[in-house]
Chain A
Amino acid sequence: MFRLEKRYAEEMIAHARAEVPLECCGILAGADDKVLKLYRTTNSEQSPLRYNVEPHELLHIYRELDEKGWQLLAIYHSHPHSEAYPSATDIKLAQCLDVLYLIVSLREAVPVVRAFWLSGGQVKEEPLSVVEA
């Protein structure tokens, strides 16, 4: 079970809506499985179907995580027009990171957020609990 404070869920959804029709992407970092910071990142693909966190932003985020002793807990991105389920591209490109992937779907009137592990080419859903602070 991944526990996510409501404010972070709301921020991911706001980010996803702000980027429509493009996919948004970002990183959730923290310690002891508790999210302490959400990084909104630039999708260098600028695409409605693909995302790629801009490499220089990524370099600076990884440096900050190591300086603070934080972990990369999850990567989030949006599916503006499809369900909150990993695409073939998501699975293929998740090979180098053993982290949780959150997907925000805007397909329905009410946004849907789901969480998945994608290591080894396998999709395994992780129950997501959105909680008050």
Chain B
Amino acid sequence: MAAVEVRIPTVLQKVVGGPKSVQAQGDTVSQVLKDLEKQYPGLKGRITDQQGKLNQFIIIFLNDQDIRFMKELDTPLQEGDVLSILPAVAGG
């Protein structure tokens, strides 16, 4: 499994908990979220919806690319990748 760094900005840490930066293991984004859940129970449930898809209020970047335009939670990861989990800023 690839070891990756997961970054959570301060503004989202207040809501989802967890650390600012943590190492996690996984060959896909989904696997990394499962690993994060072991370390920080409850965190995955705030990032994904009841169907297990990425919550519409959350954006995940793999390095500098939005995973919505890749394979979403099935996006493959490589050793040393950086995932950034961000809250979307949207309204009407």
Contacts and interface: CB of A to CB of B under 8 A. Distances in A.
Interface of A: 23, 25, 27, 41, 45, 49-53, 55-56, 58-59, 62-63, 65-66, 71-72, 75, 77, 86-90, 93-99, 101
Interface string B31-65: 00000000000000000000000010111010010
Interface of A: prevailing SS = mixed
19 contacts: A45-B90, A51-B92, A52-B88, A55-B59, A58-B86, A59-B61, A62-B84, A63-B9, A65-B11, A71-B11, A72-B11, A75-B91, A88-B92, A90-B92, A96-B55, A96-B57, A96-B58, A97-B11, A99-B11
A58 B92 contact: no
A86 B11 CA distance: 21
A97 B15 contact: yes
Interface of B: 9-12, 14-15, 20, 55, 57-59, 61, 64, 66, 84, 86-92
Contacts of A66: 9-10, 20
B15 A52 contact: no
Contacts of A101: 91
A36 to B, nearest CB: 15
Contact of B89 (A50, A58, A63): A58
